[in-house]
Structure 1
Amino acid sequence: MLTRNCLGITSLVAGGLIAGCSSDSSSTSPKDNLADATGTITNACVYDGYAAMQGASGETLCLDTEGTLAFWINADGSYGFPEATPGSTENNTADPIETSTDVGSTMPSDSTVSADKPAEDSTDSEPASETQSCTTDKALYTVNGISYYKNEDGSLYYFDTDCNKTSLSTIAPASSSSENSDDPETDASSASRPGLSSSETATPVSSSSNATPSSSAVTVPNSSASVATPSNGSVPAITYAASGATVENNNNCVTVTGGEVVITCAGDYDFSGSYNGADAQIRVYSPKSDSGVYLNLRGLTLSNTADAPIYAQMSSKTFVVAKSGTTNTLSDGSSRTKSYTYVNSNNETKVDTTGACIYAKDDLTIKGEGTLIVKGNYNNGIHTSNDLRFRGATTINVTAVNNGLKGKGTVDIENGNITIAATNGDGIKSDEGEDAGSIVDNKGIVNIKGGNITITKAGDDGIQAYNYIIVQDSVSEPNIKVTSTGKGIVSDNRVYINAGKIDISSGDDGVHSNQNIYFNGGYTTIAAPKNDGVHADSTLMINDGTIYVTNSYEGLEAWYIKANGGITDVYGTDDAWNAAGGNDGSGNTNQGGQSNWGFGPGGGMGGGMGSSSGFLTITGGVHHAKTGSGDTDGIDSNGELTISGGVVIVECQISGGMGGSFDADGTASLTSKTVLGFSSGSSEKGTNYNVSFTTGNYYGTSNIAFKPSISGRYMVATTGQPAQVSNTSSYQKSVTFPSGSTVYYNE
C-alpha cells in the first residue's frame, strides 16, 4: 500500500488517476474540497464519476465507473493508492487457508501428549487476525489491513471479525455516522460494520396463521434487490408494550404486525419492553449473502404463548446480544400449532415448525454483558440447525423440557456464566452425523474453551456430542459442573479433557466414549456410584491432569488403558481399574474391523482380539486405586498388564474370589520401583509379602511409602520386603491425593 498527501491538479487519464503528490506536504486536506458553499458534502471522492464507498476502517474508497478501486481517502485526509493493478498477481494472493483440525486423522503417539490432543479450534474466534481466512477467494485489494473481494455483480465486500460477509455501502451526501455513540457496551463486531444498514432485503414469508406483512413494508422479488430508501443512520429501535410492537428509525427492513416483528436485512436492531401473546415473535428472514443480524436486547421480556419468541428463519448469522446492565426474559408456548413456509438460500421451499424458545436454522451466536433468561416450555431451550456459539460474559439461565442447548453442527463456548436445567434431555448437545452414522468433518462437536457452565439437571446426559467433545483453556479456564440422570460427559467417538475444573455427578458413567478418551490436563471429579467413573469402549489415555473418582462401580474401564502421566485417585466398589474388551457392561468380544487406537466410528479396538482381551499399561504418573469389599480387583486386565513406570498405590478390600491388588488374565510385568499393594487377600500378580499393616502407620520400601486407609496382611512390592516406615523425610518427592492420602517416593 502507498499512502501520501496529494497537492496540485489531478487529472484523469485513460480511466486512471495521475496525481502530483508530496509525502511531506502540510497543505490543506483534500477533504476541504468536498463541500460546497453551504458546507454540504457533494462528492466524497472529489471527482465526478467516482462512487464513494465506506471502507471497513473508516476510510472512503473511491471506485471508477467500472467499479475498480482508484484510490482511497483515509480519515486523516491522506490518500492511498493500490500498489498493483486489479487482476495482477502482485497483490492478488489468496488469504491463508484456515487450518482444519480433524483430530481423528492422526494416529496418537504413545510418547507424546500433543499427538493425542486436537489443535485448538480457531473457527470464528474474535478478533480475527491477518492469518485467519474467511474465504479461499483471492482478494482484489488490501486497504489498511482489510482484504476486499468482488461479487458477481461487480460490487465490493469484505469480511468482518466474525467472518460475516459485509457489502460496501455508498456514502450519501451529508451522511452521518450510524454508529451508536451512546452504547456503553463496546462491541468489536459493530465497529467492523460501518453503516450498520444492509444493501439488500428479502421478502418475508408469513406463517400459515399469521397476517401478511403490512403494505408499508418494502417487498422485493429476490434477495439481491436494493432497498429503495437508505437507512437514516440510526439503529432501528423496536419497543414492545401491551398493544404490541412499535418501531423507530425503520430502515425499511422491519415489518411489524401486532407483536410479530420480521427483520429482512442485516444490521443492528434494538429491542426493549414487554409483551405476552401468541404473536410475540422476532423473526429473522435475511439473505444469507448479507452480513449478520444483531438482535440487541436492552431489557426485553417476550412471552410467546403458542410459538418461539425468537425464530431465525434465514440469515448468514444471527446474534442475540444481551446488552450490559439489562435482564432479558424469553419464553415459548408449551405446544406448537404454527408452521412456516419459506424459500431458503438454495431457492428451495421449506416448511418449518420451531423446536425451541430461541430457534435458528443457521449460525447463532449468544453474546453481550447482560443477562438472558430462556424458558423452553415446548422442547429445547436454545437450538440451531448449524453452529451455536457463546461469546462475551453473558449470564445465561436456560430451563427446557428437552435439551438445554443444542447446536446440531457445533456448540462452541468461549465465555459466559451458563446455567442449564434440562428436564428430559441433554444439557448441551451436538449430534451432526448421528442420523447417518458417519462423522461430518468439523461438525457434531462440543468445544468448551472457557466460561462457567452449571448443568443443575439433565434428564439424560449432561454434555453429549456425536463427533467429539473437547474441554480446553484457549480463552480462559472452564469451570463445569454436571448433574445428570444419564452420563455426565459422553461422545460416540472421542472425548478430550485438556484443561478446566470439571465436577460430575451422574446416574450412568461419568465420562464415556464409544471410542476413545484422552485426559491431557484439568481437574476432573466424578461421582458415578451405579456405573463407571470413566469408560471408553476402545482407548483411555491419561497423559496429564487429575482424575478423582469419589465413587463408582468400576473407576476406570476401557479395552486399552494407558497412563503416561497425571494424577488419579479412584474408588470403585468392584474394580478400581479394569482393562476389558467391548461395550460398557456388555462383555462384547467382537473387536474386529478396526485399526489400532480405535479411531473412527463403529467397532472397538482392533485386530480380532480374543474373548479375554484387554491391555493395561502404566508408564508414568501418580496413581491411587481403592476398591470395595467382595470379589474385587485393584488394577485388573483381562489381557496383559504392564507397569514400567509411575507411582502406583493399590488398596484392595477383597473378601472372596480371585484377584487382589493386581490381576491379569494374560502376562503381567511390574517393574516400576514405586509400586505398593495393600490387600486383605493375596494378589494374583506381583510379588506378595505377608506383612500385616494397619491404618495408623506408613509402610513401604526405600523407594516408596504410604499410610493405608484399610488394614490387612498382604502387601505387594517391587523392590523387596516392605515394612513399616517410621520417617518419611528421606523421600525426595510426595503427592497428596484429592482424597487426602499422601504418598512419598524416590524416583
Structure 2
Amino acid sequence: MKRNHLTTTAVALTAALGLAACGAGNDASTATAGAASTPAATAAASSGSTPAAAASSTSNASLASTSSALLADNAKAHAEEGDPAYDAEDVVKVTLQDGASSASTQTGVQIDGDTVTISAPGTYVLSGTLTDGTIVVNSADEGRVRLVLDNAAVTNSQGAALNIVAADEAVVVLEEGTTNSLADGTGYDTSAEDAPNAALFSMADLTIGGSGTLKVTGNTNDGIASKDGLVILGGTVDVTAADDGIRGKDYLVVQGGTVTVTAGDDGLKSDNEDDDTVGYILLAGGTTTVDAGDDGAHAEGDLAVTGGSVTITKSNEGLEGANVVIAGGTSSVTASDDGLNATQGSSSGGGGMGGGGMANDGSQLVISGGTLVVDSGGDGLDSNGQTTISGGTTVVYGPTMNGNGSLDSNGGIDVTGGTVLAAGSGGMAEAPDTSSTQGWVQLGFSSNVTAGQTVQIVSGDTVIASFTAKKDYSNLVFVGDDITSGQSYDVYVGSGSLGSDQLATFSLGGSTDGATKVGSVTAGQATGGMGGPR
C-alpha cells in the first residue's frame, strides 16, 4: 500500500491503523510504548545523556552472557598474538626475480623457473617480483611456516600467487613499512576438489599479521581462502575478488589491522556445514570495511561482532549467520535486503515476507553491547528464531515497503536493556514482547513521516529521544531507560533539533523548537502490522 507523504504540520498518530492484525496478541488499535522496566533499567539517563551511556547503564549481566554462551561452543581459533614475531637472525632470504629467483640457502627452498617451493618449517623473508610465477608451501613436517613479505609482488596467470598446499600452520607476516601484492589470473580451472581458487590459497590454518600492507586480487574466484581456519591479527589487507573476498572454511577471525574487501559475492565467509563448532566468523578488533555483491559477512555457524569497527557499505544482506551476536564494537550495515539476519538456512538470492508469525527455526539474534546502525531495504533486524537485546545502542533505518519491517523476529523480541530506535514501514511492524523488562514505545502514523523530518518522544518538558528520518517511514519503535510501561508520552514532528551526542541521526534529548505536537502514546501497547508483541 502506498502511503501519502506527511506535511510538517499535518502529521497525526493513528488511533486505529486500519490494518488487519495478523498475529496472536497483536493489538492494532493504538500507537503505544512498551513494558515495565526493572529497577536497574529505571535508573534512566537524563535527557542530556549520550545514547551509549544510556545503553551501558542498563547492561544486563545475565543476558549479556547469552552472547558468550552462544560463542563458547565454537572451536578455539589457532592463532596467538605473538605468531607473527620472528628472529631476524634466523631466517632464509628469498629474492624473487623473473627467471632468476634465489635463496640465501637451499635448505627448505626449491626454485624451478618461476615457481618457488618452501618445503620445511621456518621463517622465510620474500622480496622482489614475479610477474608470472607462484610461491608454493608444501611442508609435511611439524612446525610453523612463516612467510615474511618484504615488498614482495607475485602474479600467477595460471593459479594462486601463494599456494599453501600443506603446513602444520602457515603465518604470513607483512613487514613494517612495506607494500606487497598477490594476484591470480582469470579463468583458470578450479573445479577439482581442493583445487586452489584464490590468489592466496591455503589448505592449512592461516594467520596474517604484521604492520605492512597486502593487496590481494582474486580475478577468478576468491581473494584469500583457507580450507581450515583463517585469522587476521594485523596489517593493512586490501582484497578485491570476483567471488568471495576472504573465506575461512572452518572460521574467520579478524582480531586487528585494517581490512578492506570488495567482492562480487560474499565479502567475508565461513561455510563449514559439517561441524557445529566451526563455520563461524568473529570480528573482534581492527577496522573492517566491506563492499559485497551478496552478503557482507556470511557464516554457516555463528557470526559475532565483539570489538573493533565494522562497516558494510553495500550488500544484499549485511551480516548473516545461524546465530548473530553484537556484543561490542562499532558496526554500520547497509543492505538492499535484510541488515542482520539470523537463520538456520541460507537466504541468499533475496528475502521474503517478514513478520513475527512465521516459524521459529531456533536461530538467535543477540545484541548485548556496542553501537549498531542499520540501513536496510528489507528487514532491519531479522531473526528466524528469537531476538534478545540487553545492551548497546541500535539505530535501524528500515524498509519503506510494507512486505518487511525494521524489526522481524519469528520467536519474539525480548528486551531487558539497551537503547533501540527502529523506523520503517508499518505493514509488517513488530514490537518487543510484553514480557520485556526494558521500556519501549511504538508509534504508528496515518501517513508517512518524510525524509528530513524529526520525530521526538517527550515526557512533560523533557525530550526523551529525537530522530531525523533518512527516508520515509510510518512506524517507529523506541526502547530506552526513560520509558515506563503505562505512562503517556507526547509525540512531536517537525524541525526539532537533536541532542548534542548523536549516533547517525538519533540522539537522546533534543529541542522541540520548530516541532508540532501531533498526539500521545501509552507505553505498553502496540500498533498493527503482522508482528505484534507477545
TM-score normalised over the length of structure 1: 0.50
Tell me if 1:400 matches 2:241: yes
CA drift of 1:111 comes to: 7.8
Taking the aligned partners of 1:360 and 1:125, their CA distance within structure 2 comes to: 15
Instruction: Find the counterpart in structure 1 of residue 135 from structure 2.
Output: 282
Instruction: Find the counterpart in structure 1 of residue 153 from structure 2.
Output: 301
CA contact (8 A) 1:237 1:270 kept: yes
Instruction: Find the counterpart in structure 2 of residue 104 from structure 1.
Output: none
SS at match of 1:531: coil
Seen in structure 2, the aligned counterparts of structure 1 residues 624 and 270 have a Cα distance that, compared at 3 Å, is farther
CA contact (8 A) 1:624 1:650 kept: no
Q: Could you tell me which of 419, 424, 438 is aligned with 1:620?
A: 438
Tell me if 1:254 matches 2:72: no
The within-5 A match list for 1:374-523 is 374-392=216-234, 394-423=235-264, 425-433=265-273, 440-455=275-290, 457-473=291-307, 478-491=308-321, 493-514=322-343, 515-523=363-371
Taking the aligned partners of 1:649 and 1:297, their CA distance within structure 2 comes to: 51
The within-5 A match list for 1:30-45 is none
Seen in structure 2, the aligned counterparts of structure 1 residues 526 and 575 have a Cα distance that, compared at 3 Å, is farther
Q: Which has the larger radius of gyration?
A: 1
Taking the aligned partners of 1:562 and 1:708, their CA distance within structure 2 comes to: 35
**Partner AA of 1:126 in structure 2:** E
Instruction: Find the counterpart in structure 2 of residue 724 from structure 1.
Output: none
For residues 2-51 of structure 1, give each alpha carbon's deviation from its aligned partner in whole angstroms, at most 9, with x where no partner exists. xxxxxxxxxxxxxxxxxxxxxxxxxxxxxxxxxxxxxxxxxxxxxxxxxx
CA contact (8 A) 1:555 1:571 kept: yes
CA contact (8 A) 1:303 1:331 kept: yes
Taking the aligned partners of 1:540 and 1:629, their CA distance within structure 2 comes to: 28
Taking the aligned partners of 1:367 and 1:551, their CA distance within structure 2 comes to: 37
Taking the aligned partners of 2:191 and 2:387, their CA distance within structure 1 comes to: 46
Instruction: Find the counterpart in structure 1 of residue 98 from structure 2.
Output: 242
SS at match of 1:114: helix
Taking the aligned partners of 1:550 and 1:382, their CA distance within structure 2 comes to: 32
Taking the aligned partners of 1:338 and 1:111, their CA distance within structure 2 comes to: 48
Instruction: Find the counterpart in structure 2 of residue 181 from structure 1.
Output: none
Q: Could you tell me which of 352, 355, 368 is aligned with 2:197?
A: 355
Seen in structure 2, the aligned counterparts of structure 1 residues 386 and 650 have a Cα distance that, compared at 3 Å, is same
Instruction: Find the counterpart in structure 1 of residue 169 from structure 2.
Output: 317
**Partner AA of 1:285 in structure 2:** N
State the number of aligned residues: 405
**Partner AA of 1:446 in structure 2:** I
CA contact (8 A) 1:571 1:625 kept: no
Instruction: Find the counterpart in structure 2 of residue 717 from structure 1.
Output: 522
Instruction: Find the counterpart in structure 2 of residue 13 from structure 1.
Output: none
Taking the aligned partners of 1:330 and 1:366, their CA distance within structure 2 comes to: 14
For residues 321-343 of structure 1, give each alpha carbon's deviation from its aligned partner in whole angstroms, at most 9, with x where no partner exists. 11111100110011215899xxx
Seen in structure 2, the aligned counterparts of structure 1 residues 648 and 273 have a Cα distance that, compared at 3 Å, is same
CA contact (8 A) 2:488 2:520 kept: no
Taking the aligned partners of 2:475 and 2:94, their CA distance within structure 1 comes to: 70
Seen in structure 2, the aligned counterparts of structure 1 residues 318 and 705 have a Cα distance that, compared at 3 Å, is closer
Instruction: Find the counterpart in structure 2 of residue 542 from structure 1.
Output: 389
Instruction: Find the counterpart in structure 2 of residue 271 from structure 1.
Output: 126
CA drift of 1:538 comes to: 1.3
CA contact (8 A) 2:303 2:323 kept: yes
Taking the aligned partners of 1:383 and 1:618, their CA distance within structure 2 comes to: 42
Taking the aligned partners of 1:124 and 1:385, their CA distance within structure 2 comes to: 13
Taking the aligned partners of 1:430 and 1:418, their CA distance within structure 2 comes to: 16
CA drift of 1:513 comes to: 0.7
CA drift of 1:661 comes to: 8.2
Instruction: Find the counterpart in structure 1 of residue 80 from structure 2.
Output: 126
Identity of aligned residues (%): 26
CA contact (8 A) 1:576 1:626 kept: no
Taking the aligned partners of 2:270 and 2:206, their CA distance within structure 1 comes to: 14
CA drift of 1:118 comes to: 1.6
CA contact (8 A) 2:77 2:231 kept: no
Seen in structure 2, the aligned counterparts of structure 1 residues 694 and 300 have a Cα distance that, compared at 3 Å, is closer
The within-5 A match list for 1:137-152 is none
Taking the aligned partners of 2:520 and 2:490, their CA distance within structure 1 comes to: 5
| Higher normalized contact order (CA 8 Å, seq sep 6+, divided by chain length) | 2
Seen in structure 2, the aligned counterparts of structure 1 residues 322 and 555 have a Cα distance that, compared at 3 Å, is same
Taking the aligned partners of 2:148 and 2:219, their CA distance within structure 1 comes to: 23
SS at match of 2:155: strand
Seen in structure 2, the aligned counterparts of structure 1 residues 275 and 537 have a Cα distance that, compared at 3 Å, is same
For residues 350-389 of structure 1, give each alpha carbon's deviation from its aligned partner in whole angstroms, at most 9, with x where no partner exists. x642110001111011111110000000100000111000
Taking the aligned partners of 2:68 and 2:119, their CA distance within structure 1 comes to: 39
Gaps of 5+ in 2: 1-59, 344-362, 450-462, 478-482, 498-508, 525-534
Tell me if 1:573 matches 2:425: yes
**Partner AA of 2:155 in structure 1:** S
CA drift of 1:550 comes to: 2.8
Seen in structure 2, the aligned counterparts of structure 1 residues 238 and 631 have a Cα distance that, compared at 3 Å, is closer
CA contact (8 A) 2:496 2:514 kept: no
Instruction: Find the counterpart in structure 2 of residue 532 from structure 1.
Output: 379
Taking the aligned partners of 1:558 and 1:452, their CA distance within structure 2 comes to: 29
**Partner AA of 2:80 in structure 1:** E
Taking the aligned partners of 2:309 and 2:170, their CA distance within structure 1 comes to: 27
**Partner AA of 2:130 in structure 1:** Y
SS at match of 1:499: strand
CA contact (8 A) 2:109 2:119 kept: yes
Gaps of 5+ in 1: 1-109, 128-160, 163-186, 197-232, 341-350, 580-613, 633-646, 654-658, 663-669, 679-692, 699-703, 720-747
CA contact (8 A) 1:570 1:576 kept: no
Instruction: Find the counterpart in structure 1 of residue 63 from structure 2.
Output: 113
For residues 613-668 of structure 1, give each alpha carbon's deviation from its aligned partner in whole angstroms, at most 9, with x where no partner exists. x94543116x5655665499xxxxxxxxxxxxxx99799x9xxxxx9889xxxxxx
SS at match of 1:399: strand
Instruction: Find the counterpart in structure 2 of residue 77 from structure 1.
Output: none
SS at match of 1:335: coil
Taking the aligned partners of 1:710 and 1:270, their CA distance within structure 2 comes to: 65
Taking the aligned partners of 1:661 and 1:282, their CA distance within structure 2 comes to: 55
SS at match of 1:552: coil
Seen in structure 2, the aligned counterparts of structure 1 residues 285 and 627 have a Cα distance that, compared at 3 Å, is farther
SS at match of 2:68: coil
**Partner AA of 1:556 in structure 2:** L
**Partner AA of 2:392 in structure 1:** G
Give the CA RMSD over aligned residues.
3.5
Taking the aligned partners of 1:509 and 1:708, their CA distance within structure 2 comes to: 35
CA contact (8 A) 2:128 2:152 kept: yes
Q: Could you tell me which of 482, 485, 506 is aligned with 1:672?
A: 485
Instruction: Find the counterpart in structure 1 of residue 347 from structure 2.
Output: none
SS at match of 1:117: helix
CA contact (8 A) 2:218 2:240 kept: yes
Taking the aligned partners of 1:564 and 1:355, their CA distance within structure 2 comes to: 45
Seen in structure 2, the aligned counterparts of structure 1 residues 718 and 574 have a Cα distance that, compared at 3 Å, is closer
SS at match of 1:118: helix
Taking the aligned partners of 1:451 and 1:328, their CA distance within structure 2 comes to: 20
Taking the aligned partners of 1:417 and 1:406, their CA distance within structure 2 comes to: 16
Q: Could you tell me which of 404, 409, 419 is aligned with 1:558?
A: 409
Taking the aligned partners of 1:339 and 1:575, their CA distance within structure 2 comes to: 45
